[in-house]
Amino acid sequence: MRNILIMALTLCMVQAQSIDQLIHTALNKHPSLQTIEHRISAMDEKILLSQKFANPDLSLTINDMRFGDPLSRDLEPMQYQAVQFKQKFPWFGKLDARKSYTLAQKNVILDSLDAAKVKLAQEIRMTAYTIKEMEVRIDIVQKYIDVSEQNIKLYTSYASTDSKSHINSMNASLLLTKVKIKAANYKAILKSQKAKLTYLVQGDITHLNISLAMKKPKTLHYYLSKIEQNPNYQMHLSKQKEALAEQTVQKLNTMPDPYVKAGYFNRQNYSDYASITIGASMPIYGSEKLKTQAARKEVLATTSASLDYKSALYSEIETMYAKLTEAYTIYTILHTQTLPQLEHMFELTQASIQQGGDLFAYTNLLEQKLDLEEQSTSIQAEYFRTEAKLKSLIGEI
């Protein structure tokens, strides 16, 4: 029997998964990340495409066809059959500008991948800590269910049968019912959160190796100093560079691309000849200038957006840090002052119950102790969920 217990304990320890292990698994398997990776891969072809010339025009011409005799092709020198080839050449550094613009687009998608990874890690952490919170809450209420049932039986056996004792017993039973309802609610939440975590990590979760042991929070300066590592902020900066690259492309487009048109002309009974034409489109309607102005304004918009996001990021980090320190302070008060005092009072009251004391006072104290222990668990879980948000805000996975 001892060997079986040791083997079972060892198996549970092996199967227990830490948050870092869950995140590592999710980053390798989650389809939402694979979707972005495929888009990044597609950008490699678009970069190659940006260096290609436009397709040439190939035309076949049959000139001077007489309605009365359309098949006769030797009536005069103006009758010819021609094959013509036309190719446009992107000059003035347009190919390099197009490549830079496509690379800038790829960088935006790369940043979106980093942002998705950070967001996924945050969701896994927050869900895992909620699961741990529900497990601890279930353990707490189950302990109180067991204690309450035992003490109600003890009180019933020791106390007299007067009306006051009957009311006290009913109050205790009502509290017991409330606690059982809490337990059922927590189990439902636990089940839903485990289903969510299964989706996030793309695999079954047997057991989580998570601790809610509190630790002193890092300084606010630590988080603010890493603000530029936020992948969403980096994506805003990349969008700004993308807009600048597009502006360069639009500026170059104001200069028309030259084209060369070559043709071979065949004539019956007359000499064949060739022709070469060099030309360019005439940007006389101002379309290119309007596009350049629109691109310039887009640069201004993306610059303002990045500055706004950075400012909002500072504010959000300070807000989350305030919540983090608040949770730590409340936890410290509960565990250094309130809970030790209440534990002592609870032990004294429980001893009196075993001797037929007032069950009402015990029930009231039991309810307070249960609420405080649950509040402590909630504060601990909220502390780590807030820390997970802060990690996400500075780009930590």
- DSSP class of residue 168 equals H
Write the pLDDT tens digit of every residue in 2-31.
555 444 444 344 357 899 999 999 999 899
Report the pLDDT averaged over residues 279-289.
89
Per-residue model confidence (pLDDT) at position 1: 47
Average pLDDT value for the chain: 86
Q: What is the CATH number of domain 17-393?
A: 1.20.1600.10
128 band by pLDDT with thresholds 50, 70 and 90 = very high
Per-residue model confidence (pLDDT) at position 268: 86
Write the pLDDT tens digit of every residue in 329-376.
999 988 888 777 777 676 666 666 555 555 556 666 777 778 888 889
> Residue 303 burial by CB count (10 A; 0-12/13-18/19+): exposed, middle or buried?
middle
Cα(369)–Cα(344) distance, rounded to whole angstroms?
A: 11
User: What are the phi and psi torsion angles at 207 (to 5°)?
Assistant: -155, 140
Beta-carbon count within 10 A of 89 CB: 13
Write the pLDDT tens digit of every residue in 148-157.
777 677 666 6
Write the pLDDT tens digit of every residue in 194-230.
999 999 998 888 788 988 989 999 999 999 999 999 9
Q: Which amino acid is at 164?
A: K
Per-residue model confidence (pLDDT) at position 177: 85
Angle at 173 between CA 373 and CA 135, to 5 degrees: 35
322, 389 in Cβ contact below 8 A? no
pTM above 0.75, yes or no: yes
395, 230 in Cβ contact below 8 A? yes
